[in-house]
């Protein structure tokens, strides 16, 4: 993999516009359970009961209890070296856009700014009735379910199954993918669409696309380079190599 890392470092060192998509794999390295492993998040829950618009309407208390549990679990989780490496990469480029499928806020805690959270955030709440947004939403929630001033209840600002992605956020991520020189797909299963298609779009528009993942995905053939390994190992190494290339010491 050393040759591939060197190749990617050379490409990155000459890039000006970078677009990144991260998925659950990068947070799994911090101990956040994923959806698609045998010990994943849905092992003990039915998504119909806690993660659909119908569940919010039918049983808002149950939905909030589930997401409060998730927020409580996040209190013991810390960003890992992959999160910090992305924050370190950002100022090296004229434009650096970080979009994530994760709702945990770990990128922001590692120092990344202006993160495009295409699936929402555990740390916001909003009202579907009047449009009110509470950001950040306090933890623990002051009341479950939390009331809105309009007389309805607030809901977690996460994209539930069957819902569309937030239009403005996904439009910004799409624009960045369309205009970048280099794109990354990091820790994604490449099966959660439409977000999974962002690196593919970048490649179609002429970008050099890099996958960082422990295992191949169904989209691996669409990428220029696949770096096998956890993001927390690969990304810090890559940052060091990019710095060496730019300093002329590679």
How many Å apart are CA 61 and CA 47, to the nearest integer? 15
* Phi and psi, residue 120, nearest 5°: 90, -165
Select which of 83, 119, 129, 167 is catalytic: 119
Question: Would residue 107 show up in a list of annotated catalytic residues for this protein?
Answer: no
Closest by CA position to 217, among listed 208, 226, 206: 226
- Cβ-contact 39, 33 below 8 angstroms: yes
How many Å apart are CA 26 and CA 87, to the nearest integer? 13
**For residue 88, what are its two tokens?**
């370190």
User: Which residues are 96's β-sheet partners?
Assistant: 18
Strand order in the sheet with 155-158: 133-134, 120-126, 155-158
Catalytic residue positions, numbered: 119
């Amino acid at each position: 993999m050393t040759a591939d890392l060197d190749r990617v470092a050379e490409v990155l060192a000459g890039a000006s516009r970078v677009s990144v998509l991260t998925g659950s794999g990068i947070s799994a390295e911090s101990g956040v359970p994923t959806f698609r492993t045998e010990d994943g998040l849905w092992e003990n829950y039915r998504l119909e009961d806690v993660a659909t618009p119908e569940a919010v309407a039918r049983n808002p208390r149950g939905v909030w209890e589930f997401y409060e549990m998730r927020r409580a679990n996040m209190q013991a989780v810390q960003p890992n070296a992959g999160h910090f490496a992305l924050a370190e990469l950002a100022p090296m480029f004229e434009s650096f856009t970080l979009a994530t499928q994760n709702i945990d806020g770990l990128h922001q805690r590692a120092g990344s700014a202006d993160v495009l959270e295409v699936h929402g955030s555990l740390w916001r709440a909003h009202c579907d009735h009047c449009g009110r947004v509470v950001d950040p939403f306090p933890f623990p929630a002051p009341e479950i379910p939390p009331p809105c001033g309009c007389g309805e209840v607030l809901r977690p600002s996460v994209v539930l199954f069957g819902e569309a992605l937030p239009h403005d956020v996904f439009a910004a991520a799409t624009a960045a993918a369309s205009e970048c020189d280099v794109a990354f797909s990091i820790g994604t299963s490449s099966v959660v669409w439409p977000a999974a298609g962002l690196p593919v779009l970048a490649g179609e528009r002429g970008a050099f696309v890099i996958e960082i993942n422990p295992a191949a995905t169904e989209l691996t053939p669409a990428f220029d380079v696949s770096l096998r390994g956890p993001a927390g190992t690969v990304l810090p190494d890559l940052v060091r190599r990019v710095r060496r290339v730019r300093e002329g010491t590679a």
